[in-house]
C-alpha cells in the first residue's frame, strides 16, 4: 500500500528528530542523549514569585513526554496535571494557591521525562523558588473572609457583577435576575451624588439597599464619581469631568500638597464625609470592595488631570485617612489601571486588587488577554486583576482557555447591561449558566 502524503511527511519528521537526538561515537556506535532542561518559569532560585502563579513551565532542548505514572511534587504535594507542549515545554498546573513568603521546592524524580528517542533524563530535576511577601494589611474579620474567598477564587472562576443604575440601587442586578433566574454575585454602588445628600431623593445615610444585598450573600462594591464645584460659579453645580466648559471643572488636584489651599480643605472634607457613610457599613459588619479615583491616567477626571504624582499623593492621603484616621478596616482597595500607566500605581502597600475598564467596539465577547497581560506586567502579577468595568462581557470559556482569568466582571449600567449589542438577555443567560461563573446563589456565607 502506498503511503499518503501526510504519512510521508510524518515519517521523515520522526526520522530527522531521531538523528537530531543521536550522535556517532568515536567507534562508530550511534549514541542517544537525554533531553536537557534549558530554563523554567519561575526560574531556579527566583525570589519574589507571585502567589498567584498558577503553573510552572519547564523548557527543554527538544520535545518531551512523561512516563505513564509519575511522582512530581512541590513541597511534598503531588502535582498530577502536567501538560506536554508543542514547543519543547512542560506545563505543571498548580492545584493550590501559593503562600506568601514561602520557599518552594519542585522535585521531578529520575527517569520521569523522556525525549523523542525514548531516552529518559536519568537524574533528578530540582527547582526552588520563594514567593513574594506583601506588605502587612489588617482587615476586619468580614473583609478578611472576603479577601480569602477572592484569593481562592482567582484563576479558578470569575465572579459575576452589575453596576447600580447611576448611584444607590440594584436595578441592573434585578433585571439580570428577571432575565436569567440568577442574581449576579457582586453589585457596585456609587457615591456620585454625595454633594446632594441627604435630600428627599438621595440619602447615603440610608444603607438598607446595601444591607439587603449583603444579607442575601451578595458582595458589596462601591466607587465614587467625585463631584467638585463646576466652572459655572453657581454654588449648586458640580462636575467630575475636567475641562474648561462651565459644566466641567478646573479643580486642581495638585493642591493636595498645599494644606492651606481651598482645594486641599475640600478634598479632606469630602473624604471625611464619604468615610462617615462607609463607617455606617462597618458598624453593620459589611465589607466593601472600594474603588475610588478610577481611570485616573485617562485624564478625563480631575483627579488625573495633573499627572501621576498628585494623583498618587491623593490616593495615599485618602488611604491613610480612611484606614488610620477613620479606622475603616472593612475596605478592600481597588486601583484601576489604564494598561499603560505603571507610573500611576500607588504601590503594593496601598492597593489590594487591580482593575481594568474595557469597552471593546468589535468582537465584544472575545478574550481580553492582551489587556489582562498589560496590567499583569505593571504589577508583576502581585495582585489579583478584575474587569472592573466593561461593555461586552468576555465569553467565560474563552477567558479560561486563553488565560485572562478576571477575578470578576462588571458591565456598566443601562444599554451596556441590557442591549444585545453589548450583552442582552440571551447572552446573560449563557454567562450565568457557565460553570466558570459564580452567581449570588453560589456564594458562601462570608458573614
- Gap between the Cα atoms of 30 and 19, Å rounded: 9
187-to-82, 217, 330 alpha-carbon distances in Å: 37, 11, 16
Q: Is the dihedral angle over the CA atoms 272, 191, 372, 138 positive or is it negative?
A: positive
Alpha-carbon distances, residue 295 vs 211, 301, 339, 356 (angstroms): 28, 8, 10, 8
Angstrom distances, CA of residue 122 to CA of 70, 115, 118, 126, 187: 14, 12, 12, 13, 55
Instruction: Please say if 295 is a catalytic residue.
Output: yes
Of 121, 167, 108, residue with least CA distance to 21: 121
Note if 46 is an active site residue.
Answer: no
* Residue 236 grid coordinates: 449648586
Rounded Cα distance between 313 and 91, Å, is 42
Cell of 71: 511522582
Question: Of 142, 182, 295, 338, which is the active-site residue?
Answer: 295
CA–CA separation, 431 and 390 (whole Å) = 14
CB-based contact 187:170 (threshold 8 Å): yes
Question: What are the backbone angles phi and psi of residue 175, rounded to the nearest 5°?
Answer: -65, -45
Helices (H) and strands (E) in the chain, counts: 10, 24
CA 232 – CA 357 distance, rounded (Å)? 30
Helix (H) or strand (E) holding 103: strand 103-108
How far CA 185 is from CA of 142, 213, 225, 404, in Å, comes to: 16, 10, 23, 19
Residue with the three cell numbers 462607609: 278
Give the whole-angstrom CA distance, residue 343 versus residue 417.
32
Check 172, 338, 371, 389 and give the catalytic one.
389
Specify whether the CB–CB gap between 257 and 310 falls below 8 A.
yes
| CA triple 137-142-148, angle to 5 deg | 65
CA nearest 437: which of 402, 408, 412, 416? Answer: 408
CA–CA dist 240, 192 (Å, integer): 9
The residues annotated with a catalytic role in the active site are 295, 389
Amino acid at each position: 500500500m502506498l503511503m499518503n502524503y501526510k504519512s510521508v511527511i510524518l515519517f521523515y519528521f520522526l526520522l530527522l528528530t531521531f538523528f537530531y537526538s543521536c550522535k556517532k561515537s568515536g567507534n562508530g556506535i550511534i549514541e542517544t542523549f537525554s533531553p536537557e532542561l534549558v530554563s523554567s518559569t519561575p526560574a531556579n532560585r527566583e525570589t519574589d514569585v507571585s502567589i498567584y502563579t498558577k503553573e510552572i513551565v519547564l523548557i527543554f532542548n527538544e520535545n518531551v513526554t512523561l512516563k505513564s505514572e509519575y511522582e512530581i511534587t512541590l513541597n511534598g504535594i503531588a502535582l498530577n496535571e502536567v501538560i506536554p507542549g508543542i514547543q519543547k515545554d512542560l506545563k505543571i498546573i498548580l492545584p493550590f494557591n501559593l503562600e506568601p513568603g514561602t520557599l518552594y521546592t519542585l522535585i521531578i524524580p529520575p527517569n520521569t521525562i523522556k525525549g523523542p528517542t525514548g531516552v529518559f533524563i536519568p537524574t533528578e530535576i530540582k527547582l526552588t523558588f520563594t514567593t513574594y511577601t506583601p506588605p502587612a494589611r489588617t482587615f476586619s474579620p468580614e473583609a478578611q473572609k472576603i479577601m480569602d474567598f477572592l484569593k481562592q477564587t482567582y484563576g479558578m472562576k470569575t465572579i459575576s457583577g452589575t453596576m447600580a443604575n447611576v448611584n444607590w440601587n440594584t436595578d441592573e442586578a434585578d433585571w439580570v435576575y428577571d432575565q436569567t433566574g440568577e442574581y449576579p454575585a457582586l453589585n457596585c454602588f456609587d457615591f456620585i451624588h454625595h454633594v446632594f445628600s441627604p435630600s428627599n431623593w438621595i440619602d447615603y445615610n440610608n444603607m438598607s439597599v446595601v444591607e439587603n444585598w449583603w444579607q442575601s450573600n451578595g458582595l458589596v462594591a462601591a466607587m465614587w464619581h467625585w463631584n467638585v464645584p463646576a466652572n459655572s460659579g453657581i454654588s449648586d453645580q458640580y462636575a467630575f469631568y475636567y475641562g474648561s466648559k462651565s459644566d466641567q471643572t478646573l479643580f486642581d488636584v495638585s493642591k493636595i500638597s498645599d494644606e492651606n489651599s481651598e482645594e486641599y480643605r475640600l478634598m479632606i472634607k469630602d473624604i471625611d464625609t464619604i468615610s462617615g457613610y462607609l463607617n455606617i457599613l462597618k458598624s453593620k459588619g459589611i465589607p466593601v470592595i472600594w474603588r475610588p479615583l478610577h481611570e485616573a491616567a485617562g485624564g478625563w477626571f480631575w483627579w488625573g488631570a495633573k499627572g501621576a504624582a498628585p494623583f498618587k499623593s491623593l490616593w495615599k492621603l485618602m488611604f491613610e485617612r480612611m484606614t488610620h484616621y477613620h479606622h475603616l478596616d472593612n475596605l478592600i482597595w481597588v486601583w484601576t489601571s489604564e494598561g499603560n500607566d505603571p507610573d500611576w500605581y500607588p504601590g503594593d502597600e496601598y492597593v489590594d486588587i487591580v482593575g481594568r475598564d474595557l469597552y471593546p467596539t468589535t468582537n465584544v465577547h472575545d478574550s481580553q488577554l492582551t489587556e489582562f497581560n498589560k496590567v499583569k506586567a505593571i504589577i508583576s502579577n502581585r495582585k489579583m486583576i478584575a474587569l472592573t468595568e466593561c461593555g461586552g462581557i468576555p465569553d467565560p470559556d474563552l477567558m479560561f482557555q486563553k488565560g485572562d482569568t478576571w477575578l470578576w466582571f462588571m458591565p456598566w449600567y443601562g444599554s451596556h447591561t441590557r442591549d444585545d449589542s453589548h450583552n442582552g438577555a440571551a447572552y446573560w443567560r449563557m454567562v450565568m449558566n457557565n460553570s466558570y461563573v459564580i452567581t449570588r446563589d453560589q456564594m458562601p456565607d462570608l458573614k
